[in-house]
């Protein structure tokens, strides 16, 4: 165990250092060659460290009396501090294995420094905690600008949003109603000893996350893994058989699959990245579904649109992903305040390009996995105010447009806009 922990700390430090320099963790993790057990530990170390980055970064800065270490050694210390605080390992085990990880990383001269800093943290933990309590970025483990935006938007709820962003995400599954009922699949889970409870229209929330291969019926296409908040999209589209439907930002295909499970529609699944679009077909095929998959930019319809109107459009637009930060903890530290306007500009462009494709009387569902109003209400309100024949409708599930992240689901925003005849 000790040897593997040193290797895991070393690999986690390499990945976290790349994220600190601007890389995406989601792009780097698939490149790591590791066993399933080691991958599980690696995911825990990287995600846990990045969720607590504001804290561990502040601790290392405060305790580095001889100047700041290089990026890789700093990342090793961040990961080791997370491991210490996770409770999964003994304190001295973590310190010893972090020192050994210096060799894994070929940072042999840093061994004494890593050893001294971690032991000092253990000796002075109480005093350090008092200092951290006075610094928002360390206390709430989110960038200061992120905290400020949420505090302004949600004067009462902002602490709980930040708390959720530091938590482990729930695992929701969606039975494929074309193959199995919700009640029958819940019974199958119970027979397999997997505890789950129903949430909303169709979601089952597992008591404990599991690898998908351990879920009964996954390979047979009986279920998909999808957050309960994401499952709102298909229900809010107000689907009916025979409609032409566009999923304008479809990869990897979760919402597209749900649309096809609920109604016999003619679906076009669009994504602008070929590698991501390539995942849509196999995901649908596993579920016994099919759609016309197109590669193209939603803002440049001349390259892929055949000129036939759609009765329904799902515009699941690119966003900061602030509502799913606990699933993608690197986004908290990769995003900048200026990204809010950049994403809003892209979102406005997508709405403007999709609107002419919507049939008279048709409905467009604007969706984000963001909790920032600048990407949500602000964009939708401006579009409706400036667009002839655009009318915002209540959502079919009767729920608020903005769901904030909690123990049951992530943070999603939905707005339904109709093109009046």
Residue 307 exposure: Cα atoms within 13 Å on the Cβ side? 0
Does the pLDDT of residue 64 top 60, yes or no?
Answer: yes
Does the pLDDT of residue 393 top 80, yes or no?
Answer: yes
Residue 1: what pLDDT? 42
Catalytic (active site) residue 369:
yes
For 363, the enclosing helix (H) or strand (E) is: strand 358-368
Decide: pTM greater than 0.75: yes
The secondary structure of 274-321 as a DSSP string is HHHHTTHHHHHHHTT---EEEE--TT-GGGT--S--EEEEEEE-----
pLDDT tens, position by position, 344-358 = 999 999 999 999 999
User: What is the CB neighbour count within 10 angstroms for residue 178?
Assistant: 13
Percent of the chain beyond pLDDT 90?
92
> How much is the mean pLDDT over the chain?
95
Mean local confidence (pLDDT), 329-351: 97
Residue closest to 286 by CA, chosen among 215, 374, 382, 187: 215
Mean local confidence (pLDDT), 279-285: 97
Residue 3: what pLDDT? 43
Longest dimension (CA), the chain: 73
How would residue 131 be classed by pLDDT, with cut points 50, 70 and 90? very high
Mean local confidence (pLDDT), 339-347: 98
Q: Is the peptide bond before 373 cis (omega within 30 degrees of 0)?
A: no
Q: Which of 79, 236, 319, 369 is the catalytic position?
A: 369
Rounded CA separation 177/204 (Å)? 13
Residue 279: what pLDDT? 95
pLDDT tens, position by position, 28-61 = 887 777 665 578 889 999 999 999 999 999 999 9
330's tokens: 């690197």
Q: Position of tokens 């930040």? A: 162
Residue 295 Cα to chain centre, angstroms = 23
Mean local confidence (pLDDT), 18-24: 92
Does the pLDDT of residue 400 top 70, yes or no?
Answer: yes
Find the range with the poorest average confidence among 66-80, 174-188, 234-248. Answer: 66-80
User: What is the CB neighbour count within 10 angstroms for residue 14?
Assistant: 18
Residue 36: what pLDDT? 55
Find the range with the poorest average confidence among 22-36, 85-99, 206-220, 251-265. Answer: 22-36
Quote the Cα angle for 345-350-355, to 5°: 130
Helix ranges restricted to H, 33-70: 36-51, 53-63
Report yes or no: 86 and 101 within 8 Å, Cβ to Cβ: no
């Amino acid at each position: 165990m000790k040897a593997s922990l040193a290797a895991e700390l070393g690999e986690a430090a390499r990945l976290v250092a790349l994220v600190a320099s601007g890389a995406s963790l989601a792009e780097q993790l698939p490149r790591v060659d590791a066993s399933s057990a080691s991958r599980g530990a690696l995911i825990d170390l990287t995600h846990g460290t990045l969720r607590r980055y504001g804290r561990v970064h502040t601790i290392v800065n405060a305790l580095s009396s001889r100047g700041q270490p290089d990026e890789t050694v700093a990342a090793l210390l961040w990961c080791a501090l997370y491991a210490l605080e996770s409770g999964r390992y003994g304190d001295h085990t973590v310190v010893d294995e972090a020192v050994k990880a210096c060799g894994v990383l070929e940072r042999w001269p840093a061994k004494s420094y890593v050893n001294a800093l971690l032991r000092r943290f253990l000796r002075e933990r109480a005093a350090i905690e008092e200092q951290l309590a006075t610094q928002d970025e360390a206390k709430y483990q989110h960038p200061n600008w992120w905290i400020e935006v949420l505090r302004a938007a949600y004067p009462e709820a902002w602490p709980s949003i930040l708390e959720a962003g530091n938590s482990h995400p729930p695992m929701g599954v969606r039975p494929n109603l074309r193959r199995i009922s919700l009640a029958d699949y819940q019974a199958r889970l119970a027979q397999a000893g997997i505890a789950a409870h129903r949430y909303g229209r169709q979601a089952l929330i597992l008591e404990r996350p599991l690898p998908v291969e351990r879920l009964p019926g996954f390979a047979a296409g009986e279920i998909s893994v999808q957050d309960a908040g994401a499952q709102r999209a298909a229900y809010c589209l107000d689907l009916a058989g025979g409609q032409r439907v566009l999923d304008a930002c479809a990869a990897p295909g979760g919402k597209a699959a749900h649309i096809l499970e609920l109604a016999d529609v003619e679906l076009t699944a669009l994504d602008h990245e070929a590698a991501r679009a390539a995942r849509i077909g196999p995901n649908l095929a596993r579920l016994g579904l099919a759609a016309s998959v197109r590669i193209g930019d939603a803002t440049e319809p001349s390259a892929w649109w055949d000129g036939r109107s759609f009765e329904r459009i799902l515009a699941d637009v690119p966003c900061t992903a602030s509502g799913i930060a606990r699933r993608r903890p690197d986004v908290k530290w990769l995003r900048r305040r200026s990204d809010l306007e950049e994403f809003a500009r892209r979102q406005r462009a997508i709405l403007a390009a999709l609107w002419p494709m919507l049939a008279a009387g048709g409905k467009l569902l604007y969706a984000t996995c963001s909790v920032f109003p600048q990407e949500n209400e602000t964009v939708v309100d401006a579009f409706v105010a400036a667009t002839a024949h655009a009318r915002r409708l209540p959502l079919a599930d009767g729920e608020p447009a903005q769901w904030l992240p909690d123990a049951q689901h992530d943070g999603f925003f939905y707005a339904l806009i109709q093109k009046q005849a």
